[in-house]
Amino acid sequence: MSGLPVVLCVAEKPSLAASIAGFLSEGKHRSRRGGQEVHEFERDFNGARCHFKVTAVIGHVLSIDFPAKFQSWDLDPAILFDAPVQKKEATPKARVVEHLEREAKGASHLILWLDCDREGENICFEVIDACAPVMRPNRGDTFVHRAKFSAVSKESIERAMRTLGAPNRAEALAVDARQELDLKVGVAFTRFQTRFFQGRYSHLDASVISYGPCQTPTLNFAVQRHLEIVSHTPEDFWSLHVEVRSTSLGKTLVTRWERERVFDGDVGEMFRSMVAGDRHALVESVEETEEFKRRPPGLNTVDLLKAASAGMGMGAHRAMQVAERLYIQGFISYPRTESTAYPPGFDLKGTLKAQRGHPDWGEWVEELLAGSMTKPRGGKDEGDHPPITPVRSATESAVGGGEAWRLYDFVARHFIASVSPDCAYVSRRATLVAGGERFRVSGQTVIAPGWTTVMPHRAVEDDPLGEIERGESLPIATVELRQGATSPPPYLSEAELIGLMERNGIGTDASIPTHINNIESRKYVTIQSQGGRRVVPTDLGVTLVQGYHRIDPELALPAVRSHVEKQLDMIATGKADHESIVRHTLAQFAAKFRNFVDQIERMDTLFEASFDPTCSSGKPFSKCGRCLRYMRLVSTRPQRLYCPTQEEVLELPAGTVKLYNNRECQLCGFELLLYQNGDRTYPMCPWCFNHPPFVGGSRPTKGLVSGAPHPRAHPIVDALVVCPCPECGEDDKLKGREGGWLMLEPVGGPRWKFVCTGCALVVKLNDSVHRVTVDKLDVCGACGARCPTVIYHKDRTPLAGGETAHVACLACDDLLNSSIELARGRGAARGGGRGGRGGRGRGRGRKPPSDHDQKMSFKDF
């Protein structure tokens, strides 16, 4: 090390760190990788020579969540509003905190180069929290500095260095507040809705029925359009179609009726006969004006996404992925920006020069460079990133063709268009009179196509009206009264939806695609790839939104977001303190939540109208312990039992569930089932599985249950248990948990086996065994385990004298051990399991049984 004081600079993303280092060092930095890339150089700071290190985080360092004890879906979601929240590393894999600590160690100064928006301000404090404790600033020094930059340019970065300030705590706190509100509101409503509706309706195949302050209003837009469409009643209308002949032009002109249309057929007919009574139309006036079609301003994210969706058939989410890749590969500039105005000092000419010689638009670029290049028009500079531009010239094959090319092609053409002259044309319009009615004809002549040269799909059509004089009389060729009917608007296009979200402040440029993707993947809408990506809500989507409108419309309206934003603005501007705003707003949402829970039936009745209640589907299966009637097995996932009389839904673990010979649970009287997991079968009580009678008992879990559905304490398990599992029994006991037990598999022969309640261990008995039973009273004198009674086949018995009955300990008896094989069963250690007990056989210094069946005895353990 140089021994100079160290100045650590931290940017929001690696690419920005590289740019900043380049500007501050005039390109003379060295780069090394250590977690994230670090760029180093020497430079004066505060009047002293310093060693600069410039590195980056990857967006937020931390994210917010509930502590572990609030993660259970069995809790009443209402308590979440008062629950504590904690910050933890957002992407633990990236080890950003560790990286920051290492680079900050001993540093004298920290300069924060996070993006200059609220989120960036919040990340500042995340970075400070990681760095400050390990830094070694000079006594009395202000050592944390905030760099404020409005563009990634040398000027702006140098200016930021000269005007360093302090990070804005108020803005950061506003973000903390948003995070807490979004988390609590979103998770509380989502858990409640999901638990309430899940299992109630058979064709409702949704694993999660989510609510969110952005996703739900997004869905609302799509549903409102749907309602407009379905409530539309067509109305008949009539319109006059008149064509006149222009002798001077030698062609027929199609006119437009000034009234456009009337909604009464008799009136339409009256107009028709009036016009038809005239043989000529008189040219009342002719107007000619020069018009301009303005060049587009710079391209921001939202406009790029709209164009991709509407013009390229590429979804917003997909477009963002493709743009991201083009950016990483250096073809286009940073694709996440709100700005449509180029910042002062932006190198427009250099950017344009890079496109010189391009086979598709190089010629036009030359023309611009030769003098016709025009200053970009208007737009807004949000101070985040410049508009999206091409960075270097590339051909279709260079960017990899397909979607990447279509996007690059658009970005390049859009940029070139933004510095091209406007398109100029002459518009000529004439008004004709016939039968007292006015009709119009128009045409236009392009003078200079300007920017539309590179964006031909937006060109003005060259369609001259030709010579037509005021006072001229044109013969009428045809007069027709056409009948039509009003039609509903089409479904919302994704591009329109993006526009609505932007205008209503739902999401950000970076998150809008995620929200749209969200409502699609949750099956609230489908997006039709044919016909311009129309967003069509599903029954589920419509039902949810209608439900919110019945109970509390605000839940689905964009106002939810803007109300919260207003509260946050108060924090950000220091007009109110974080604490009280959060408390106040949470109280409002908690009240909304209680009201929602109270009135959920109003949404439920809507669900009933669209979905089959579970009670009307499924086949009669096993007996309910309370009404003694048959419950129905609903096999659409998630698999469950439904008792029509008790209106109770009992969840079942994923896997095969069978009947267990009419046996009943001693605890609750429900008919017992067999639960098959891979090649192991366990007894199961559907009631006890959902309402565990013991502390630490099983809970319904999604997916596979990795061991037995019940602990040993349940009588149906206890009756079959013989000894602790040699694989997981003892170990877990040492950890203070109930270990696994070997139990006789309840399905019987001819392939008798013992299975572990906790892991995948299977103890198979060979084919000399005819029958096995377990009796609580037969206890091994040596180890205290229960001794199963094994009955051998007469002709295959290993017992002396042809004896067939053998009561012996599975753990201690050598003879019995000669008739077994240990194996690890299939289908274990998947799906999370319960308490992490399943299939933990590895890495403990003993040789575990292999996946293949293998002769091995208990002595091997």
Task: By CB under 7 A, name the binding residues for DNA.
Answer: 12-15, 58-60, 63-66, 71, 73, 90-91, 94, 115, 117, 119, 178-179, 182-183, 186-187, 190-191, 194-195, 198, 207-208, 210-216, 324, 328, 336, 507-508, 510-511, 514-515, 518, 702, 832
468 touches 461 (CB < 8 A): no
* Residue 484: C-alpha distances to residues 231, 234, 242, 255, 437 (Å): 19, 9, 16, 18, 20
Q: How far is the CB of 642 from DNA (least distance, A)?
A: 17
Residue with tokens 């933990």: 840
Q: How far is the CB of 194 from DNA (least distance, A)?
A: 4
Residue number, 183 or 808, with CB nearest to DNA: 183
Tokens of 233: 């009643």
- In sign, the C-alpha dihedral spanning 833, 834, 839, 841 is positive
Active site residue 334: yes
Residue number, 507 or 625, with CB nearest to DNA: 507
Q: Which of 201, 211, 334, 342 is catalytic?
A: 334
Residue 671 DSSP SS3 = strand
Q: In sequence order, what are the beta bridge partners of 423?
A: 293
314 touches 403 (CB < 8 A): yes
Residue number, 61 or 823, with CB nearest to DNA: 61
Tokens of 358: 């391009």
Residue number, 17 or 417, with CB nearest to DNA: 17
Q: How far is the CB of 654 from DNA (least distance, A)?
A: 12
Q: How far is the CB of 372 from DNA (least distance, A)?
A: 35
Residue number, 187 or 603, with CB nearest to DNA: 187
Residue number, 12 or 40, with CB nearest to DNA: 12
Q: How far is the CB of 326 from DNA (least distance, A)?
A: 11
H/E element holding 724? strand 721-724
638 touches 207 (CB < 8 A): yes
Residue number, 564 or 673, with CB nearest to DNA: 564
Q: How far is the CB of 441 from DNA (least distance, A)?
A: 49
* Residue 616: C-alpha distances to residues 205, 605, 608, 631 (Å): 16, 15, 11, 11
Query: With 0-12 CB in 10 A as exposed, 13-18 as middle and 19+ as buried, what is 531?
Result: exposed
Residue number, 831 or 849, with CB nearest to DNA: 831
Tokens of 859: 């002595």
Of the candidates 812, 176, 224, which has an alpha carbon nearest to the alpha carbon of residue 489?
224
How many residues belong to the chain? 861
Residue 587 CA, distance from chain mean position: 27
Of the candidates 716, 270, 637, which has an alpha carbon nearest to the alpha carbon of residue 481?
270
Q: How is residue 108 annotated by DSSP? A: S
| CA distance linking residue 300 with residue 385, whole number of Å | 9
* Backbone conformation region of residue 784, classed left if phi is above 0, alpha if psi is from -120 to 50, else beta: left
Residue number, 9 or 432, with CB nearest to DNA: 9
Residues 6+ apart with CB under 8 A from 98: 35
| CA distance linking residue 50 with residue 109, whole number of Å | 10
Of the candidates 214, 121, 215, which has an alpha carbon nearest to the alpha carbon of residue 176?
121
Residues 6+ apart with CB under 8 A from 217: 504, 506, 556, 557, 558, 560, 561
Q: Kindly report the number of other CB atoms within 10 A of residue 459's CB atom.
A: 16
H/E element holding 367? helix 362-367
| CA distance linking residue 180 with residue 682, whole number of Å | 43
Strands (DSSP E) found in 156-306: 236-246, 251-254, 256-257, 280-293
Tokens of 407: 């996007």
Residue 403 DSSP SS3 = helix
Q: How far is the CB of 215 from DNA (least distance, A)?
A: 4
Of the candidates 113, 114, 148, 151, which has an alpha carbon nearest to the alpha carbon of residue 344?
151
621 touches 639 (CB < 8 A): no
Residue number, 314 or 716, with CB nearest to DNA: 314
| CA distance linking residue 115 with residue 122, whole number of Å | 10
Of the candidates 573, 595, 593, which has an alpha carbon nearest to the alpha carbon of residue 585?
593
What is the maximum span of the chain, computed from C-alpha positions, in angstroms? 130
Residue number, 60 or 806, with CB nearest to DNA: 60
Residue number, 64 or 373, with CB nearest to DNA: 64
Residue number, 73 or 292, with CB nearest to DNA: 73
Q: How far is the CB of 102 from DNA (least distance, A)?
A: 19
Q: How far is the CB of 494 from DNA (least distance, A)?
A: 17
Cα 13-317-387 angle, rounded to 5 deg: 55
| CA distance linking residue 752 with residue 492, whole number of Å | 62
Q: How far is the CB of 195 from DNA (least distance, A)?
A: 6
**Residue type at 220?**
N
Torsion of Cα atoms, 431 then 435 then 437 then 440, to 10°: -30
Catalytic residues: 334
